[in-house]
Structure 1
Amino acid sequence: MKIVFMGTPDFARSALEKIIEAGHEVVLVVTQPDKPKGRSGQLQVSDVKACALEHNLPVFQPERIKLPENVAELKKYDADIYVVAAFGQILSQEILDIPKFGCVNIHASLLPKYRGAAPIQQAILDGEKETGVTIMQMAAGMDTGDILIQRTIPISEEETGGGLFDKLSILGGELIVEALPLIEQGKLTPVPQDEALATKCGKLSKDMGSMDFNKSAVELSNLVRGLNPWPSAFTHLSGKLLKVWKAKVVEANNEDLSVEELNNYPAGTIVKVSKDAFVVKTGDGLLSITEVQLEGKKRMSVKDFLLGYKLEVGTTF
């Protein structure tokens, strides 16, 4: 098929590479404009643009895809279908109607759950046991189009946002390559989304990582995993920011802690310190923290952290 591909971050790059490998003709790659990075302000190309340049594909980087002159530019390319993956701009109905087979989106959730910007991390934050990828026929709404095909994968108890991102990126590439010939042959039946089951998720922000130890240990464990590597979960220790990179729920009896002993401490208190972890009481349960990063220091195991920093039972966050 002749394809216009629209995408920006590394999640979309995997799909573009798979489409190229499958032998489809990518007539144009549309991605966000180059953005300044760091103190130098040097322009950085998107992952998708980098991939396109490696394969000598034409690149189009409109500030606003909906403008008439940009729509006119798209119409110059005789594409059968537009494939969209984390592009970062909303397509108008006029654009959706250009290609013969319309526009399809690679979305990293099992729609209609988790429409929006951060479905991968939100699934972990909510304690979901599974997630997946949906190939959707795009409509004017935000992730509201008919479902064409889905694949499900489990979420392990140790899974992080970054790890799940990588898995779903690969799955998205595999699934779009599977779907394209089926779309061309008319073998996929669009299934309308059940609006009663629809949920939404917004963009990630740094303040989401603040650890409220009045919440349960399960919620805090999910927070640590879901926001790893960005924006990361954090608390404060002696006035300094402490990022928490690894933590898990533990049981009092397995930590040789009695219920009576724990009742003496408020939530947010360290109730045990061992050579490679410290245990914090939460609003419901115990959280064992095993990897941290103190402000101004590198990321390290708690074992190494404790070599240079003394923590005592009774310390509160």
Structure 2
Amino acid sequence: MNIVFMGTPEFSVPSLLKLINEFNVSAVFTQPDRPKGRGKNLAMSPVKQLAVTHNIPVYQPLKLRNNEEMIETIKDLKPDFIVVVAFGQILPKEVLDIPKCGCVNLHASLLPKYRGAAPIAWCIINGESKSGNTTMFMDVGLDTGDILLTEEVKISSSITAGDLHDTLMTSGAELLVKTINGIVNNEIKPIKQENNLSTYASKLGKEMANINWESSNVDIHNFIRGLNPSPIAYTHYKNTVMKIFKSRVINEQSDKQIGSIIEVSKDGIKVATGNGVLLIEEIQFPGKKPLKVKNYIIGNKINEGEILI
């Protein structure tokens, strides 16, 4: 199989490596190099780094839509498949029509739920008990193509978005190979998505990461897990941003003001929520490293009775 691969972040890397080992990857398309770090030096995407080490030609168009030069380049490659894993661009119909066997996408949710940019985070924020990967034939819509294969993963009450990302990143690579072989051998019957069951997972940003203490302890705990490792949920303690990396739901109620710190101990910071009590276990203040509360309070004080907002 002659495959053109399109992907950009770390999530795409195991898939590309698996395809390199199993098939012939003739070219890789990824996003342009971006400024990174304090020095703002241009950095290659994780996918480009892997492609370069395997001497695979790399193309980095700002966009494919209306880019006749890049579209002709893809046609000249004569791919059997175009495989897309978190590329960062919606492919125009001119590209979708090129490969002989179709464009296959790996998406980190159980479609049609959680179409869009941040399916892993929103799945956890919404308190889902399961997630997974879906492979599909791509069409001109956003994650709306016919489903090929799915694979479920259970979500525990403590798993973070980062944990689930790593699990799906690895299992997705295996699912992709299984999908391609299944298409070639006519072993897969594509299934139309039920659009009435679809949900959308919008992109995350710092502007939405401020914790609403009016919510329940369970909802806030899910919010914190879903925003870890990025952009990280936060609150304000004495007008200072306090990022929260880890929490735990405890079986307690409180008549204290919502958002108030009930108790501080080596176990963590107990906070009154709109329903129940939440235990904060790991925090970070500006200019400091993330620390477990039991370590932070050795040399610092957090006052009981303060209101988090």
SS of equivalent residue, structure 2 residue 82:
strand
Q: Please report how far the alpha carbon of residue 41 of structure 1 lies from its aligned counterpart in structure 2 after TM superposition.
A: 2.6
Q: Give the TM-score normalised by the residue count of structure 2.
A: 0.97
Offset of 1:75 from its aligned partner? 0.6
283, 300, 304: which one aligns with 2:291: 300
Contact 2:282 2:290 in 1 (8 A): yes
Is 2:252 the counterpart of 1:286?
A: no
1:312 Cα deviation after fit: 3.1
Q: Which structure 2 residue ranges, 5 or more long, are not aligned?
A: none
Q: CA shift at 1:58, angstroms?
A: 0.8
1:57 matches 2:39: no
Match of 2:258 among 239, 249, 267: 267
1:105 aligns to what SS in structure 2?
Answer: strand
Q: How many angstroms does 1:307 deviate by?
A: 1.3
CA distance in 1, matches of 2:37, 2:162: 22
Tell me how large the CA RMSD over aligned residues is. 1.0
Q: Give the Cα separation in 2 of the matches to 1:30 and 1:216.
A: 44
C-alpha displacement at 1:236, in angstroms? 1.1
Deviation of the 1:178 alpha carbon: 1.0
Residues 134 and 147 in structure 1, CA contact (< 8 A), matched pair in contact too: yes
Q: Do 1:217 and 1:284's aligned partners in 2 also have CA atoms closer than 8 Å?
A: yes
2: distance between equivalents of 1:275 and 1:182?
53
Alignment deviations for residues 123-151 of structure 1 (CA, whole Å, 9 cap, x no partner): 00000000000000001000000000000
The total of aligned residue pairs comes to 307
Q: Counterpart in 2 of 1:123?
A: 123
Deviation at residue 313 of structure 1 after TM alignment: 2.6
Is contact 1:161–1:227 with CA below 8 Å preserved after alignment? Answer: yes
1:80-134 C-alpha deviation (Å, 9 max, x unpaired):
0100000011111111010111101000000000000000011000000000000
SS at match of 1:278: strand
Structure 1: stretches of 5+ with no match in the other structure: 253-258
* Secondary structure at the counterpart of residue 266 of structure 2: coil
- Residues 170-190 of structure 1, C-alpha deviation per residue, up to 9 Å, x if partnerless? 011010011111111121101
Number of the residue aligned with 2:169: 169
**1:93 and 1:140 in contact (8 A); partners too:** yes
Asked whether the 8 Å contact 1:28–1:58 carries over to 2, the reply is yes
**Separation in structure 1 between the aligned mates of residue 301 and residue 37 of structure 2, nearest angstrom:** 35
8 Å CA contact 1:103–1:137 kept in 2: the answer is: yes
Q: How high is the TM-score relative to the length of structure 1?
A: 0.95
Quick check: 305-314 or 106-115, which moved more?
305-314
C-alpha distance in 2, partners of 1:182/1:2?
16
